A and B are shown apart, each in its own frame.
Chain A
Amino acid sequence: MNTEKPYRRRDLLGIRELAASDIIGILDTAENFREISNREVKKVPALRGKTVINLFFESSTRTRTSFELAAKRLSADAVNISVSSSSLSKGETLLDTAANLDAMAPDCIVVRHSSAGVPHRLAKVSRAAIVNAGDGANEHPTQALLDAMTIREHKGQIDGLSVAIIGDIVHSRVARSNIHLLTKLGATVRVAGPRTLVPKDFSFLIRDQELASGKRPLEVCDHVEDAIRDADVVMILRIQRERQDSAYFPSLREYSIHYGLTNERLDLARRDAIVLHPGPMNRGIEIASDVADSSRSLILDQVKYGVAVRMAVLYLATGGNFTSG
């Protein structure tokens, strides 16, 4: 396979690979794409003639739809391939699939896979720009970017904020991407959840920032109350019901009693604290219904900004720039 990369490709594999200035650049660009979704004609011709393939080996409605809308609002041709209809279910290897897609000359491949590192592997062999839409328990960079955009919209900036992340940290690519992003932009992150679902050692995640700043940007709390106290942002992770059988916690009811976000717990946070959830949420388990429906919950804003962030990512991946000269 010809693995020579065209000059203009730019992958988005994870937040880990980005410098703080890259993150700010993507967020600033995304701000300027927001307005397009409010127009009478929600479409700009920027990516006319470009092809974006959404290659989803894991089921997803929200993320895939968001990427598809983003591509279409930029006038790119978007093609969706999901695992049930792909050759992978017929025994083709990942690299063969990649080679076959490449032969059709897409400009960008958006990939989601249950194994960490698949986008990185694809980036090595594909001539298209690769955008990670979630790889195993590794990263989900566009989710962290849209979370950051929501936080910036309501808090002005991320530097100096205190962010609580509650739930299944170990299996969460959302948590991982967010921890990278928030600490790189100067926030303090406190995580809490059942001990079985919080990694003992986070040093692999934040070593660089810790060395640079000399302070600890990440703290693991034993009690959810300690994480939420005085937080500016409370980020709730989805409890994956399918993990219930793996005995990480006794029951959903017990999880909800000890870790669910209720109004009483939220009262510990700052009065102007905001609540984020990557969806789809389990009402009454990780988040109480009245919290989810309150004005502090910005779950629908997150979905809205998701389209703008993905438009910016696709624009930048196919040759866009956020610094002039």
Chain B
Amino acid sequence: MAADLNLVEKSRVMDASAMNRALRRLATEIVEKNNGAENLYLVGIRRRGVPIAERLRDKIEALENIKPLFGILDITLYRDDLSTVGANPVVNRTELDDDVDGKKIILVDDVLYTGRTIRAALDQLMDFGRPKKVQLAVLIDRGVEHRELPIQADFIGKYIPTKQNEIIKVMLKEFDETEAVGIYHRPNE
């Protein structure tokens, strides 16, 4: 994203070890609430939800000695702004290799903001079958006041109340040079 070059960092809210500790706690909470890792199916939302889901899967496996199922959703074709944005976004692959019927799905994304991405992911998930239940895990929750749909997370890594003109960037080694979470704003704001 070329626009990122102009962003100014306001504050850093998480570094790599803080992120790791938050994910470790999330993994524990997920296992606790679901009485183990039986029947768990972690589904990461492209792009940044995917590595976070992978890390949660590995941590859950270390805790329970059961490897949860794993999948990837690309929600592009389910976006509600396809008819309003200038050009349709690039479509990437959805990979749900195992049946979702009767599974406990943990939907994973990096940031929960308006809730529209999660709405799209839920709609897409239902087209694959009928999960037993769906829960939402996010690394960062920007606060309910930004929500445009009645959607909340079940597991939250860190709650960061933000203003609308602020931007939360989750940087992961899979995509970025560092591992951190920062609050940014545009220079003229």
Q: Is A279 close to B, CB under 8 A? A: no
Task: Tell me the minimal C-beta distance from A27 to chain B in angstroms.
Answer: 12
Q: Is the CB of B93 within 8 A of A32?
A: yes
Which A residues from 268 to 325 make CB contacts under 8 A with B?
A: 312, 315-316, 318-325
Interface residues of A in 8-44 (CB under 8 A from B): 8, 29, 31-33, 35-36, 39-41, 43-44
Chain B residues with Cβ under 8 A from A43's Cβ?
A: 127
Contacts of A322 in B (CB 8 A): 90
Q: Does any Cβ of A come within 8 Å of B88's Cβ?
A: yes
Among candidates A31, A41, A320, residue contacting B127 with C-beta atoms closer than 8 Å: A41
User: From B130, which residue of chain A is reached at the shortest CB distance?
Assistant: A40
Whether the pair A32, B127 counts as a contact (CB closer than 8 A) is no
Question: What residue of chain B has the Cβ atom nearest to residue A75's Cβ?
Answer: B77
Q: Is A49 an interface residue (CB 8 A)?
A: yes
Q: Contact at B128–A32, with CB atoms within 8 Å? A: no
By size class, the interface of chain A is 20 to 34
Is B62 an interface residue when CB atoms closer than 8 A count as contact?
Answer: no
Q: Quick check: A324 and B78 within 8 Å, CB to CB?
A: no
Among B79-87, B134-142, B146-154, the one that faces the other chain is: B79-87
Report the count of interface residues on B (CB-CB < 8 A): 24
Q: Is B91 an interface residue (CB 8 A)?
A: yes
Instruction: Name the CB-closest residue of A to B101.
Output: A40
Shortest Cβ distance from B118 into chain A, in angstroms?
16
Picked from A7, A41, A45, A316, the residue with its CB within 8 Å of the CB of B77 is A45
Chain B's closest residue to A325 (CB) is B2
- Are the C-beta atoms of A39 and B128 separated by less than 8 Å? yes
Per-residue B-contact encoding for A49-64, CB less than 8 Å = 1, 0 else: 1000000000000000
Tell me the smallest distance from the CB of B82 to a CB of chain A, in Å: 6
Contacts A32-B74, A44-B78: A324 and B127 contacting too (C-beta < 8 A)? no
Kindly name the residue among B76, B87, B94, B128 whose own CB sees the greatest number of chain A CB atoms within 10 A: B87
- Please indicate the chain B residues that have their CB under 8 angstroms from the CB of A323 in the complex: 90
Nearest residue (CB) in A for B85 is: A319
B187 is an interface residue with CB less than 8 A from chain A: no
Which residues from chain A contact B126 at a C-beta distance below 8 Å? 41
Question: Which chain B residues border A35 with CB–CB below 8 Å?
Answer: 93-95
Output the nearest chain A residue to B76 by Cβ-Cβ distance: A46
Distance of A321 Cα from B95 Cα, bound (Å): 21
Contact partners of B82 in chain A: CB under 8 A: 46, 319
Task: State whether A45 touches B123 (Cβ < 8 A).
Answer: yes
What distance in Å separates the Cβ of A259 from its nearest Cβ neighbour in chain B? 40
Closest to A319 in B: B88
Do B90 and A321 touch (CB < 8 A)?
A: yes
Contact B2 A44 (CB under 8 A): no
A7 CB contacts on chain B under 8 angstroms = 86
Q: List 21 A-B contacts (CB under 8 A).
A: A7-B86, A32-B91, A32-B92, A32-B93, A33-B91, A35-B93, A39-B127, A41-B127, A41-B128, A43-B127, A44-B77, A44-B124, A45-B77, A45-B78, A49-B83, A74-B77, A318-B88, A319-B88, A320-B88, A323-B90, A325-B2
Other A-B pairs beyond A43-B127, A318-B88, A321-B90, 8, CB < 8 Å: A29-B91, A35-B94, A39-B128, A40-B128, A45-B78, A46-B78, A319-B87, A323-B90
Binding site for A on B (CB under 8 A): 1-2, 74, 76-78, 82-83, 86-95, 123-124, 126-129
Point out residues on A near B: beta carbons under 8 Å. 7-8, 29, 31-33, 35-36, 39-41, 43-46, 49, 74, 312, 315-316, 318-325
